[in-house]
Amino acid sequence: MSVAEPLATARWRNYVMESGDGLESFWRTHFRQERHVLFILGKGFDPRACLGLRSLLEAGGAGRRDIMAVEFDEGPSSPSKAYRPLVEENWTALQALVEGRATLSVRVVRIWSDDGRRIGARSAAALFSTFGDVSGYTDIVVDISALPRGIYFPLIAKILHLLDTTPENTGRRPNLHVVVAENPLLDRCIQDDGIDETAAYLHPFGASLEMEATADHPKVWIPVLGERQGTQLVRIYDLVMPDEIAPVLPSPSVNPRRSDDLLLEYRELLFDRLRVEPSNFIYACERNPFEVYRQIGRAVFHYREALQPLGGCKVVLSALSTKLLSVGTLLVAYELKQKRVEIGVAHVECQGYTIGAARGGGGSQADSELFGLWIAGECYEP
Protein backbone atom coordinates (compact mmCIF):
# COMPACT_ATOMS: atom_id res chain seq x y z
CA MET A 1 0.00 0.00 0.00
CA SER A 2 1.51 3.31 -1.04
CA VAL A 3 1.67 6.55 0.90
CA ALA A 4 -0.49 8.18 -1.79
CA GLU A 5 -3.34 5.69 -1.35
CA PRO A 6 -5.26 7.49 1.42
CA LEU A 7 -5.20 10.71 -0.63
CA ALA A 8 -6.29 8.95 -3.80
CA THR A 9 -9.47 7.68 -2.13
CA ALA A 10 -10.10 10.62 0.21
CA ARG A 11 -13.55 12.15 -0.14
CA TRP A 12 -12.35 15.74 0.12
CA ARG A 13 -9.06 15.37 -1.78
CA ASN A 14 -10.50 18.12 -4.02
CA TYR A 15 -12.48 20.80 -2.24
CA VAL A 16 -14.03 24.24 -2.47
CA MET A 17 -13.09 26.83 0.15
CA GLU A 18 -13.21 30.62 -0.05
CA SER A 19 -12.56 33.42 2.40
CA GLY A 20 -12.88 37.19 2.64
CA ASP A 21 -13.57 38.88 -0.71
CA GLY A 22 -13.34 35.51 -2.45
CA LEU A 23 -16.27 34.20 -0.40
CA GLU A 24 -18.39 37.25 -1.21
CA SER A 25 -17.65 36.75 -4.90
CA PHE A 26 -18.53 33.07 -4.59
CA TRP A 27 -21.92 33.83 -3.00
CA ARG A 28 -22.78 36.31 -5.76
CA THR A 29 -21.91 33.81 -8.47
CA HIS A 30 -23.58 30.88 -6.74
CA PHE A 31 -26.87 32.70 -6.19
CA ARG A 32 -27.22 34.08 -9.70
CA GLN A 33 -29.73 31.32 -10.36
CA GLU A 34 -32.76 30.79 -8.16
CA ARG A 35 -31.82 28.93 -5.01
CA HIS A 36 -33.73 28.11 -1.83
CA VAL A 37 -31.48 28.40 1.21
CA LEU A 38 -31.71 27.17 4.79
CA PHE A 39 -29.24 29.12 6.92
CA ILE A 40 -28.52 27.70 10.39
CA LEU A 41 -26.73 29.74 13.06
CA GLY A 42 -26.38 29.93 16.83
CA LYS A 43 -28.38 32.25 19.05
CA GLY A 44 -25.49 33.16 21.31
CA PHE A 45 -23.30 35.95 22.66
CA ASP A 46 -20.41 35.56 20.21
CA PRO A 47 -19.96 38.90 18.39
CA ARG A 48 -19.42 37.02 15.11
CA ALA A 49 -22.92 35.54 15.14
CA CYS A 50 -24.37 37.62 12.28
CA LEU A 51 -21.34 38.04 10.01
CA GLY A 52 -21.97 34.99 7.85
CA LEU A 53 -25.66 35.70 7.36
CA ARG A 54 -24.99 39.32 6.44
CA SER A 55 -22.51 38.20 3.80
CA LEU A 56 -24.97 35.74 2.29
CA LEU A 57 -27.95 38.13 2.24
CA GLU A 58 -25.89 40.91 0.69
CA ALA A 59 -25.02 38.55 -2.17
CA GLY A 60 -28.66 38.82 -3.30
CA GLY A 61 -30.21 36.30 -5.67
CA ALA A 62 -33.71 34.89 -6.11
CA GLY A 63 -35.33 32.15 -4.04
CA ARG A 64 -36.44 31.49 -0.50
CA ARG A 65 -34.21 32.34 2.47
CA ASP A 66 -35.12 30.56 5.72
CA ILE A 67 -33.09 31.29 8.84
CA MET A 68 -32.97 28.78 11.72
CA ALA A 69 -31.51 30.10 14.95
CA VAL A 70 -30.37 27.34 17.30
CA GLU A 71 -30.95 28.23 20.94
CA PHE A 72 -29.31 26.21 23.70
CA ASP A 73 -29.57 26.60 27.47
CA GLU A 74 -26.60 25.35 29.44
CA GLY A 75 -28.52 25.46 32.72
CA PRO A 76 -29.46 28.01 35.40
CA SER A 77 -25.96 28.09 36.90
CA SER A 78 -24.14 28.54 33.59
CA PRO A 79 -21.57 31.38 33.59
CA SER A 80 -22.83 32.23 30.09
CA LYS A 81 -25.91 33.76 31.74
CA ALA A 82 -23.80 36.81 32.54
CA TYR A 83 -23.64 37.58 28.82
CA ARG A 84 -27.38 37.57 28.24
CA PRO A 85 -27.27 41.25 27.18
CA LEU A 86 -24.83 40.30 24.40
CA VAL A 87 -27.19 37.53 23.28
CA GLU A 88 -30.05 40.01 23.11
CA GLU A 89 -27.86 42.48 21.23
CA ASN A 90 -27.03 39.85 18.62
CA TRP A 91 -30.67 38.79 18.39
CA THR A 92 -31.84 42.36 17.80
CA ALA A 93 -29.22 42.77 15.07
CA LEU A 94 -30.28 39.46 13.51
CA GLN A 95 -33.96 40.42 13.44
CA ALA A 96 -33.12 43.74 11.79
CA LEU A 97 -30.91 41.97 9.26
CA VAL A 98 -33.55 39.49 8.09
CA GLU A 99 -36.57 41.80 8.18
CA GLY A 100 -38.26 41.70 4.78
CA ARG A 101 -35.49 39.51 3.35
CA ALA A 102 -35.96 36.12 5.01
CA THR A 103 -38.07 34.13 7.45
CA LEU A 104 -36.69 33.58 10.94
CA SER A 105 -37.44 30.71 13.31
CA VAL A 106 -35.91 29.39 16.53
CA ARG A 107 -35.19 25.73 17.34
CA VAL A 108 -34.22 24.78 20.88
CA VAL A 109 -31.54 22.20 21.63
CA ARG A 110 -31.88 20.67 25.08
CA ILE A 111 -28.52 20.35 26.80
CA TRP A 112 -29.77 18.47 29.87
CA SER A 113 -32.35 15.71 30.25
CA ASP A 114 -34.92 15.77 33.04
CA ASP A 115 -32.77 13.38 35.08
CA GLY A 116 -29.62 15.50 34.70
CA ARG A 117 -27.83 13.72 31.84
CA ARG A 118 -26.09 15.61 29.04
CA ILE A 119 -28.09 15.20 25.84
CA GLY A 120 -26.96 18.25 23.85
CA ALA A 121 -25.22 16.33 21.05
CA ARG A 122 -28.15 13.96 20.51
CA SER A 123 -30.60 16.86 20.67
CA ALA A 124 -28.60 18.72 18.01
CA ALA A 125 -28.57 15.66 15.74
CA ALA A 126 -32.34 15.31 16.23
CA LEU A 127 -33.01 18.74 14.70
CA PHE A 128 -33.24 16.84 11.42
CA SER A 129 -34.69 13.34 11.34
CA THR A 130 -35.36 12.56 7.66
CA PHE A 131 -34.32 13.77 4.23
CA GLY A 132 -37.74 15.40 3.97
CA ASP A 133 -36.62 17.98 6.54
CA VAL A 134 -34.11 19.40 4.04
CA SER A 135 -35.40 18.27 0.65
CA GLY A 136 -37.08 21.58 -0.17
CA TYR A 137 -33.78 23.46 -0.25
CA THR A 138 -31.06 23.73 -2.84
CA ASP A 139 -28.50 24.87 -0.27
CA ILE A 140 -28.00 24.40 3.47
CA VAL A 141 -25.54 26.71 5.19
CA VAL A 142 -24.41 25.96 8.76
CA ASP A 143 -22.68 28.91 10.41
CA ILE A 144 -20.71 27.58 13.38
CA SER A 145 -19.37 30.96 14.50
CA ALA A 146 -21.68 31.07 17.55
CA LEU A 147 -22.14 27.32 18.07
CA PRO A 148 -20.10 25.07 20.41
CA ARG A 149 -18.49 21.84 19.16
CA GLY A 150 -20.92 19.74 21.14
CA ILE A 151 -23.69 21.06 18.88
CA TYR A 152 -22.17 21.65 15.45
CA PHE A 153 -20.27 18.33 15.29
CA PRO A 154 -23.41 16.15 15.57
CA LEU A 155 -25.53 18.64 13.59
CA ILE A 156 -23.26 18.69 10.53
CA ALA A 157 -22.64 14.93 10.79
CA LYS A 158 -26.39 14.28 10.79
CA ILE A 159 -27.02 16.48 7.74
CA LEU A 160 -24.17 14.78 5.88
CA HIS A 161 -25.59 11.39 6.81
CA LEU A 162 -29.04 12.32 5.49
CA LEU A 163 -27.56 13.54 2.22
CA ASP A 164 -25.34 10.48 1.83
CA THR A 165 -27.95 7.83 2.61
CA THR A 166 -30.89 9.18 0.62
CA PRO A 167 -31.55 7.25 -2.64
CA GLU A 168 -30.88 9.27 -5.78
CA ASN A 169 -34.47 8.94 -6.98
CA THR A 170 -35.76 10.70 -3.86
CA GLY A 171 -34.89 14.11 -5.25
CA ARG A 172 -31.91 16.35 -5.77
CA ARG A 173 -29.75 16.57 -2.69
CA PRO A 174 -29.06 20.07 -1.33
CA ASN A 175 -25.59 21.53 -1.28
CA LEU A 176 -24.08 21.71 2.20
CA HIS A 177 -21.86 24.64 3.19
CA VAL A 178 -20.13 25.43 6.48
CA VAL A 179 -19.34 29.04 7.36
CA VAL A 180 -17.14 30.28 10.19
CA ALA A 181 -15.88 33.72 11.15
CA GLU A 182 -12.29 32.86 12.02
CA ASN A 183 -10.51 34.87 14.70
CA PRO A 184 -7.98 32.93 16.81
CA LEU A 185 -7.50 35.88 19.18
CA LEU A 186 -11.22 36.06 19.92
CA ASP A 187 -11.39 32.28 20.32
CA ARG A 188 -8.74 32.56 23.02
CA CYS A 189 -10.81 35.20 24.82
CA ILE A 190 -13.84 32.89 25.04
CA GLN A 191 -12.90 30.28 27.63
CA ASP A 192 -14.61 27.14 28.92
CA ASP A 193 -15.94 27.52 32.46
CA GLY A 194 -17.15 24.80 34.79
CA ILE A 195 -15.35 22.01 32.92
CA ASP A 196 -16.92 18.57 33.38
CA GLU A 197 -15.06 16.17 35.63
CA THR A 198 -14.89 13.49 32.96
CA ALA A 199 -14.56 13.37 29.18
CA ALA A 200 -16.95 11.44 26.94
CA TYR A 201 -17.25 10.36 23.32
CA LEU A 202 -19.25 12.87 21.32
CA HIS A 203 -22.30 11.51 19.52
CA PRO A 204 -22.25 10.00 16.91
CA PHE A 205 -18.55 9.18 17.14
CA GLY A 206 -17.50 6.55 19.63
CA ALA A 207 -19.95 3.66 19.81
CA SER A 208 -17.57 1.30 17.96
CA LEU A 209 -14.83 1.90 20.54
CA GLU A 210 -16.85 0.10 23.21
CA MET A 211 -17.06 -3.21 21.31
CA GLU A 212 -15.66 -6.06 23.40
CA ALA A 213 -14.48 -7.93 20.31
CA THR A 214 -11.83 -5.28 19.71
CA ALA A 215 -11.09 -4.38 23.31
CA ASP A 216 -7.45 -5.43 22.97
CA HIS A 217 -6.74 -3.30 19.88
CA PRO A 218 -4.24 -0.46 20.46
CA LYS A 219 -5.68 3.06 20.74
CA VAL A 220 -4.18 6.01 18.89
CA TRP A 221 -5.17 9.46 20.15
CA ILE A 222 -4.82 12.47 17.83
CA PRO A 223 -5.64 15.74 19.64
CA VAL A 224 -5.66 19.02 17.69
CA LEU A 225 -4.02 21.39 20.15
CA GLY A 226 -5.21 24.84 21.16
CA GLU A 227 -4.44 27.24 23.97
CA ARG A 228 -5.46 26.75 27.62
CA GLN A 229 -6.78 23.23 27.21
CA GLY A 230 -4.54 21.44 29.71
CA THR A 231 -7.37 20.27 31.96
CA GLN A 232 -9.33 18.98 28.97
CA LEU A 233 -6.29 17.13 27.66
CA VAL A 234 -5.75 15.33 30.97
CA ARG A 235 -9.41 14.32 31.27
CA ILE A 236 -9.54 13.06 27.69
CA TYR A 237 -6.34 11.09 28.27
CA ASP A 238 -7.93 9.49 31.34
CA LEU A 239 -10.90 8.44 29.20
CA VAL A 240 -8.96 7.14 26.22
CA MET A 241 -5.85 5.66 27.89
CA PRO A 242 -4.06 5.66 24.51
CA ASP A 243 -1.16 3.49 23.49
CA GLU A 244 0.10 6.18 21.11
CA ILE A 245 -0.40 9.97 21.00
CA ALA A 246 0.08 12.08 17.87
CA PRO A 247 -0.78 15.73 18.62
CA VAL A 248 -1.60 18.16 15.79
CA LEU A 249 0.02 21.60 15.86
CA PRO A 250 -1.13 24.59 13.75
CA SER A 251 1.69 25.36 11.34
CA PRO A 252 1.89 27.49 9.34
CA SER A 253 -0.23 29.95 11.32
CA VAL A 254 -0.98 33.67 11.43
CA ASN A 255 1.29 33.89 14.45
CA PRO A 256 4.48 32.14 13.25
CA ARG A 257 5.35 31.22 16.85
CA ARG A 258 1.98 29.69 17.72
CA SER A 259 3.21 26.09 17.53
CA ASP A 260 6.25 26.94 19.64
CA ASP A 261 4.05 28.68 22.20
CA LEU A 262 1.78 25.64 22.41
CA LEU A 263 4.76 23.34 22.92
CA LEU A 264 5.97 25.58 25.74
CA GLU A 265 2.50 25.67 27.31
CA TYR A 266 2.15 21.87 27.28
CA ARG A 267 5.81 20.92 27.63
CA GLU A 268 5.48 19.23 31.01
CA LEU A 269 2.19 17.51 30.17
CA LEU A 270 3.15 16.21 26.74
CA PHE A 271 6.78 15.29 27.24
CA ASP A 272 7.19 14.59 30.97
CA ARG A 273 3.80 13.07 31.85
CA LEU A 274 2.42 11.63 28.63
CA ARG A 275 5.80 10.78 27.07
CA VAL A 276 4.90 11.95 23.58
CA GLU A 277 7.64 11.27 21.04
CA PRO A 278 8.75 14.43 19.16
CA SER A 279 8.50 12.48 15.88
CA ASN A 280 4.77 11.90 16.50
CA PHE A 281 3.75 15.54 16.04
CA ILE A 282 1.59 16.37 13.02
CA TYR A 283 1.61 19.83 11.46
CA ALA A 284 -1.33 21.32 9.58
CA CYS A 285 -2.13 24.78 8.25
CA GLU A 286 -4.11 26.86 10.75
CA ARG A 287 -6.33 28.36 8.05
CA ASN A 288 -7.09 25.26 6.00
CA PRO A 289 -9.33 22.62 7.61
CA PHE A 290 -8.87 20.39 4.58
CA GLU A 291 -5.15 20.27 5.36
CA VAL A 292 -6.02 19.10 8.89
CA TYR A 293 -8.32 16.51 7.34
CA ARG A 294 -5.59 15.36 4.96
CA GLN A 295 -2.81 15.14 7.56
CA ILE A 296 -4.91 13.28 10.12
CA GLY A 297 -6.19 10.92 7.43
CA ARG A 298 -2.62 10.16 6.36
CA ALA A 299 -1.57 9.54 9.98
CA VAL A 300 -4.50 7.19 10.61
CA PHE A 301 -3.65 5.24 7.46
CA HIS A 302 -0.05 4.73 8.57
CA TYR A 303 -0.97 3.74 12.13
CA ARG A 304 -3.53 1.22 10.89
CA GLU A 305 -1.01 -0.22 8.46
CA ALA A 306 1.77 -0.43 11.08
CA LEU A 307 -0.52 -2.01 13.68
CA GLN A 308 -2.20 -4.46 11.31
CA PRO A 309 -0.26 -7.42 12.80
CA LEU A 310 -2.04 -6.62 16.09
CA GLY A 311 -5.44 -6.54 14.43
CA GLY A 312 -5.37 -2.84 13.58
CA CYS A 313 -6.10 0.00 15.94
CA LYS A 314 -8.80 2.24 17.33
CA VAL A 315 -8.52 5.96 16.63
CA VAL A 316 -9.66 8.79 18.88
CA LEU A 317 -9.66 12.42 17.76
CA SER A 318 -10.07 15.55 19.88
CA ALA A 319 -10.70 19.08 18.63
CA LEU A 320 -9.18 21.49 21.14
CA SER A 321 -8.34 24.38 18.84
CA THR A 322 -10.07 26.98 16.68
CA LYS A 323 -13.32 26.23 14.89
CA LEU A 324 -11.69 26.23 11.48
CA LEU A 325 -9.25 23.51 12.58
CA SER A 326 -12.10 21.69 14.32
CA VAL A 327 -14.03 21.41 11.05
CA GLY A 328 -11.12 19.45 9.59
CA THR A 329 -11.30 17.09 12.57
CA LEU A 330 -15.03 16.63 12.01
CA LEU A 331 -14.60 15.83 8.31
CA VAL A 332 -11.97 13.15 8.86
CA ALA A 333 -13.98 11.64 11.73
CA TYR A 334 -17.07 11.46 9.55
CA GLU A 335 -15.26 9.88 6.62
CA LEU A 336 -13.48 7.32 8.78
CA LYS A 337 -16.78 6.37 10.40
CA GLN A 338 -18.33 5.89 6.95
CA LYS A 339 -15.40 3.61 6.08
CA ARG A 340 -16.11 1.59 9.24
CA VAL A 341 -12.90 2.57 10.98
CA GLU A 342 -13.20 2.35 14.77
CA ILE A 343 -13.25 6.09 15.38
CA GLY A 344 -14.24 8.26 18.32
CA VAL A 345 -14.24 11.98 19.07
CA ALA A 346 -13.35 12.49 22.74
CA HIS A 347 -14.64 15.74 24.16
CA VAL A 348 -15.00 17.53 27.50
CA GLU A 349 -18.14 19.61 27.95
CA CYS A 350 -18.40 22.63 30.20
CA GLN A 351 -21.13 24.47 32.11
CA GLY A 352 -20.72 27.58 29.98
CA TYR A 353 -18.25 30.20 28.79
CA THR A 354 -16.58 33.36 29.98
CA ILE A 355 -14.95 36.14 28.00
CA GLY A 356 -11.49 36.18 29.45
CA ALA A 357 -10.21 39.38 27.83
CA ALA A 358 -11.50 42.59 26.30
CA ARG A 359 -13.24 42.22 22.97
CA GLY A 360 -10.96 44.80 21.37
CA GLY A 361 -7.32 44.46 20.38
CA GLY A 362 -7.81 41.60 17.99
CA GLY A 363 -10.75 40.13 19.86
CA SER A 364 -13.59 41.88 18.04
CA GLN A 365 -15.70 40.89 15.07
CA ALA A 366 -13.94 43.54 12.97
CA ASP A 367 -10.80 41.39 13.09
CA SER A 368 -12.62 38.25 11.96
CA GLU A 369 -12.41 36.74 8.50
CA LEU A 370 -15.23 34.72 7.01
CA PHE A 371 -14.45 31.29 5.59
CA GLY A 372 -16.89 29.24 3.55
CA LEU A 373 -16.47 25.50 2.94
CA TRP A 374 -18.61 23.69 0.38
CA ILE A 375 -18.56 20.14 1.72
CA ALA A 376 -21.33 18.31 -0.15
CA GLY A 377 -23.41 18.75 -3.27
CA GLU A 378 -23.19 19.42 -6.96
CA CYS A 379 -19.53 20.44 -7.04
CA TYR A 380 -18.59 16.86 -6.02
CA GLU A 381 -20.89 15.11 -8.47
CA PRO A 382 -19.20 13.21 -11.35
pLDDT at 214 over 80: no
> Confidence class of residue 364 from pLDDT cuts 50, 70 and 90?
low
Does residue 45 have a pLDDT over 90?
no
Residues 175 and 277 in one domain: no
Note the pLDDT of residue 79: 67
Full domain range(s) for residue 252: 197-348
pLDDT value of residue 1: 33
For residue 295, is pLDDT > 70? yes
Same-domain pairing of 177 and 276? no
Residue 83's CATH number: 3.40.50.11700
List pLDDT tens digits, range 127-136: 999 888 998 8
Stretch 84-102: mean pLDDT: 92
Domain co-membership, 74 together with 161: yes
pTM above 0.95, yes or no: no
- Considering the domain architecture, whether residues 215 and 79 belong to the same structural domain is answered as no
For residue 187, being part of any structural domain is answered with no
pLDDT, tens only, 144-194: 999 999 999 999 999 999 999 887 766 678 999 999 999 877 887 888 888
Q: Residue 114 — pLDDT band, cuts 50, 70, 90? A: confident
Q: How confident is the model at residue 4 (pLDDT cuts 50, 70, 90)?
A: very low
Pair 108, 232 in one domain: no
Q: Which of 10-14, 173-177, 194-198, 354-358 has the lowest mean pLDDT?
A: 354-358
283 with 161, same domain? no
Report the percentage of the chain scoring pLDDT > 70. Answer: 92
Task: Clarify whether residues 340 and 219 are in a common domain.
Answer: yes
- Measure Cα distances from 214 to 33, 211, 317 in Å: 51, 6, 18
Q: HEC states along the chain? A: CCCCHHHHCCCCCCCEEEEHHHHHHHHHHHCCCCCCEEEEEECCCCCCCCHHHHHHHHCCCCCCEEEEEEEEECCCCCHHHHHHHHHHHHHHHHHHHHCCCCEEEEEEEECECCCCCECHHHHHHCCCCCHHHCCCCCEEEEECCCCCHHHHHHHHHHHHHHHHHCCHHHCCCCEEEEEEEECHHHHHHEEEEEECCCCEECCCCCHHHHCHHHCCCCEEEEEECCCCCHHHHHHHHHHHCCCEECCEEECCCCCCCHHHHHHHHCHHHHHHHCCCCHHHCEEECCCCHHHHHHHHHHHHHHHHHHCHHHCCCEEEEEECCCHHHHHHHHHHHHHHHHCCCCEEEEECCEEEEEECCCCCCCCCHHHCEEEEEEEECHHHCC
Residue 6 has pLDDT above 80, yes or no: no
Structure confidence at residue 183 (pLDDT): 86
Instruction: Specify whether 134 is located in the same domain as 283.
Output: no
pLDDT band at 8; cut points 50, 70, 90: low
In a domain, 149, yes or no: yes
Q: Please tell me whether residues 216 and 78 are part of one structural domain.
A: no
Q: Is residue 332 part of a domain?
A: yes
pLDDT band at residue 3 using 50, 70 and 90 as cut-offs = very low
Domain count, the chain: 2
Instruction: Give yes or no for residue 339 having a pLDDT over 80.
Output: yes
User: 18 and 132 in one domain?
Assistant: yes
Specify if 353 maps to a domain. Answer: no
Instruction: Inform me whether the pLDDT recorded for 63 exceeds 80.
Output: yes
List pLDDT tens digits, range 308-332.
988 889 999 999 999 999 999 999 9
